[in-house]
Amino acid sequence: MKTIKLGRSDLQVPVVAVGCMRIQGLSPSEAERFVRTSLELGANFFDHADIYGGGVCEEIFARAVSMSPGVRETLILQSKCGIVPGRMYDFSKEHILRSVDGSLKRLKTDYLDVLLLHRPDALVEPEEVAEAFEVLHGAGKVRHFGVSNQNPAQMALLQKFLSRPIVTNQLQLSVAFATMISQGILVNTLDDGAVDRDGGVLDYCRLHDVTVQPWSPFQYGTFAGVFLDNDKYPALNAKIDELAVAYGVSNTTIAVAWLLRHPARMQPVIGTMNVQRLRDCVRAADVTLTREEWYQIYLAAGNELP
């Protein structure tokens, strides 16, 4: 598995991260097989959140991997906190500290490699977040910090008070949900796609060495559905299938390879719990699309060039 450096940290991570939001749907034996296969493929970066399954997903993962000190050193664990489902977002010091302790207990580990703030909190007090991060890092409970779904101004405000760099920003991105890319291509036009909806977050992350972690890399909307093998995207699937044949891989592999071809050196978070699809995703690390192929896929998804 190819690796990249996560932001400005010293952490080398696989170019594909394994999302564990759906692990709750697996039987114990299926979960064990899935985690074992991930590790065999070199995909040892696992993404969690305290709200996934109400915390149950972290517990299932710990059992599936047979967590122990020896096993823990072979893993890179990331979790997220800050969402109180259906009620609010909470970046208070108390909530962050309590959430991390809960995740550590459920994951049966003493530390997280990375902690992300899960979506922006309108009432965030960055000084308080900084205090929480200092406590967690000082206690050895969290080694690196990041955010999720934040724009450049929100990141800059937070970074102003942090003593350590924000290493990653987890953002929704796929060829069929590519506003982060299309607004840059369509700049200085009257096209609706030129509207800056995220403050130029992709360029900001590149400028400040923040690794973008695309989530829902197969979705065409916010949980609206996947574009692969979907009749709503005939041209896109035809082009992806054509390239899949040319490269001798699956359409899943090509969809992930499209993200990996971008020079931002992203780390897609794969949400599948299917072992074969996991293999197909990991294989994308060995496929490098040409510039022309990348644009062919981009255009086939309905994106435009001025």
- 52, 220, 233, 298: which one is catalytic? 52
With beta carbons less than 8 A apart as the criterion, state whether 53 and 60 touch.
yes
220 is catalytic: no
Tell me 174's DSSP state: B
Distance CA 72, CA 25 (A): 23
With beta carbons less than 8 A apart as the criterion, state whether 141 and 104 touch.
yes
Q: Closest Cα partner for 181 from 196, 166, 191, 168? A: 196
Distance CA 293, CA 275 (A): 27
Residues in the chain: 306
Q: What angle do CA 4, 256, 200 make, to 5 degrees?
A: 70
With beta carbons less than 8 A apart as the criterion, state whether 278 and 18 touch.
yes
Distance CA 205, CA 152 (A): 8
Task: Collapse the DSSP code of 36 into the 3-class scheme (helix H, G, I; strand E, B; otherwise coil) and give the result.
Answer: helix
Residues 6 or more apart whose Cβ sits within 8 Å of residue 236: 175, 176, 227, 297, 300, 301, 302
Distances from the Cα of 38 to the Cαs of 19, 79, 278, in angstroms? Answer: 11, 18, 8
Distance CA 11, CA 78 (A): 12
Residues 6 or more apart whose Cβ sits within 8 Å of residue 156: none
Q: Closest Cα partner for 236 from 215, 259, 260, 220? A: 220
Residues identified as active-site: 52
